[in-house]
């Protein structure tokens, strides 16, 4: 065997080993995620919130309790999280919001939310439906070019 085939064979064995390791790590992380989702669903409770502000902030700048910041892993402390500042009764509390529903939360309005600790899981409008169509949809550059050319946009 030549040296090239030996090197390629070693690289192939290493890649197979890495793929197997990633498979088992991913399986373990998925099981952990499912377990935490079950805990969140079991602990959720309805609350009426008056949303003051919502932003995507770094965890250290979010104003969350120190215990929450200390419990997060080091690699997640720099990432931006969706934070909702709301008034619950007489208190102002900072909540972390689910990324899926962050855009549907209206600002300066009262909402009913399912909350698990400081994590907002679901949102409902207190008076009717939530207006999620307030922001206009951003056009892609292809749609802008077609609009300039006078052609019909393709959907």
Pick the CATH number of 44-125 from 1.10.630.10, 2.40.50.660, 2.60.120.200, 2.60.290.11: 2.40.50.660
Token pair belonging to 126: 């207190």
Q: Other C-beta atoms within 10 Å of 114: how many?
A: 17
Q: How confident is the model at residue 154 (pLDDT cuts 50, 70, 90)?
A: low
Average pLDDT, the chain: 87
Ranges of H-type helices in the chain: 3-43, 66-71, 141-149
pLDDT at 40 over 70: yes
| Higher-scoring residue by pLDDT: 78, 9 | 9
Report how far residue 130's alpha carbon sits from residue 122's, in angstroms, rounded to the nearest whole number. 12
Lowest mean pLDDT among 42-51, 71-80, 99-108, 146-155: 146-155
Q: How far is CA 105 from CA 14, 62, 91, 127, 129, in A?
A: 47, 17, 19, 14, 11
pLDDT for 149: 85
| Nearest one of 42, 52, 21 to 119, comparing CA atoms | 42
Report how far residue 18's alpha carbon sits from residue 25's, in angstroms, rounded to the nearest whole number. 10
Q: How confident is the model at residue 79 (pLDDT cuts 50, 70, 90)?
A: confident
Residue partners of 152: CB distance under 8 A and separation at least 6? 146
Tell me, yes or no, if the pTM score tops 0.75. Answer: no
- Can you give the residue ranges of every domain in the chain? 1-38, 44-125
Token pair belonging to 77: 């402390």
| Higher-scoring residue by pLDDT: 141, 91 | 91
pLDDT for 24: 97
What does the pLDDT average to over 136-153?
78
pLDDT tens per residue across span 86-97:
999 899 999 999
* H helix count then E strand count, the chain: 3, 5
């Amino acid at each position: 065997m030549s040296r090239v085939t030996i090197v390629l064979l070693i690289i192939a064995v290493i890649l197979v080993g890495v793929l197997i390791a990633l498979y088992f790590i991913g399986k373990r992380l998925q099981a952990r995620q499912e377990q935490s989702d079950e805990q969140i669903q079991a602990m959720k409770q309805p609350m009426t919130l008056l949303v003051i502000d919502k932003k995507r902030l770094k965890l250290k700048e979010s104003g969350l309790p120190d215990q929450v910041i200390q419990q997060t892993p080091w690699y997640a402390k720099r990432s931006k999280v969706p934070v909702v500042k709301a008034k619950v009764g007489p208190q102002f509390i900072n909540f972390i919001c689910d990324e899926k529903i962050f855009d549907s939360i209206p600002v300066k309005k009262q909402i009913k939310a399912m909350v698990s600790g400081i994590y907002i899981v679901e949102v409902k409008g207190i008076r009717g439906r939530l207006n999620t169509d307030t922001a206009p949809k951003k056009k892609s550059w292809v749609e802008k070019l077609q609009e300039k050319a006078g052609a019909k946009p393709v959907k």
